[in-house]
Amino acid sequence: TPTTPHTAAPTAERTLVLVKPDGVRRGLSGEVLRRIEAKGYRLAAVQLVHATPELLTQHYAEHAGKPFFGSLVEFMLSGPTLAVVAEGVRVIEGFRSLAGATDPTTAAPGTIRGDLGRAWDGAVMQNIVHGSDSPESAAREIGLWFPGL
Ligand code: IDP
């Protein structure tokens, strides 16, 4: 027996999207927001943030100790980041799909990273955007970038 009637409205969820410093620097913030809205998601909050080492250490806690961690933090400190809370049914998966694979060189065309990203110099992958990977990560990351939201 189903526990919820099939008529139950799907529950909208929220995800944290970041337009990373490379994306802001290249003038791609509007393009990323356009793709989120064109997909039918709602922008619940948008703010330009100068990240701190403390914020990034918490945001990227799962990568602490990896060889690229230092250059990842340095890259994320290299300029402002546009922090975005996007909302909609299955938006966490939906935005990961819009973003494409982590490596922008081989990310599928049609995705943000595949259409707009590529390898440059340096140890870190500059791949324009971040998107939360689970409801738990989304709640944690929204709390970090939008305290009080
Ligand atoms: P995701 O952003 O696609 O979820 P994660 O594995 O969570 O990918 O990695 C976080 C970020 O760290 C990536 O978006 C990228 O900027 C950087 N990164 C991940 N793996 C590597 C790597 O092997 N070399 C350099 N940079 C990396």
- The CATH number of the domain holding residue 124 is 3.30.70.141
Burial 92-108 (b: 16+ CB within 10 A, else e): bebbbebbbeeebeebe
Does residue 1 register a pLDDT over 60?
A: no
User: Which of 78, 98, 102, 120 has most ligand 1 atoms within 8 Å of its beta carbon, as the pocket-test mutant?
Assistant: 102
ipTM over 0.85: yes
Q: Each residue of 23-47: pLDDT tens digit?
A: 999 999 999 999 999 999 999 999 9
Domain around 53: 13-145
Q: Could you tell me the pTM of the whole model? A: 0.94
Within a domain: residue 48? yes
Give yes or no for residue 93 CB within 6 A of ligand 1. no
90: alpha, beta or left? (left if phi > 0; alpha if psi -120 to 50):
left
Is 125's C-beta closer than 6 angstroms to any atom of ligand 1? yes
Q: Among positive and negative, which fits the CA dihedral 119, 123, 126, 127?
A: positive
10 — pLDDT class (breaks 50, 70, 90): confident
How are strands ordered across the β-sheet holding 13-19? 42-49, 81-88, 13-19, 129-131
Q: Is 113 annotated as a binding residue?
A: yes
pLDDT digits (tens, 9 = 90+) for 111-138: 999 999 999 998 899 999 999 999 999 9
Q: Is residue 3 part of a domain?
A: no
Question: What is the total count of domains within the chain?
Answer: 1
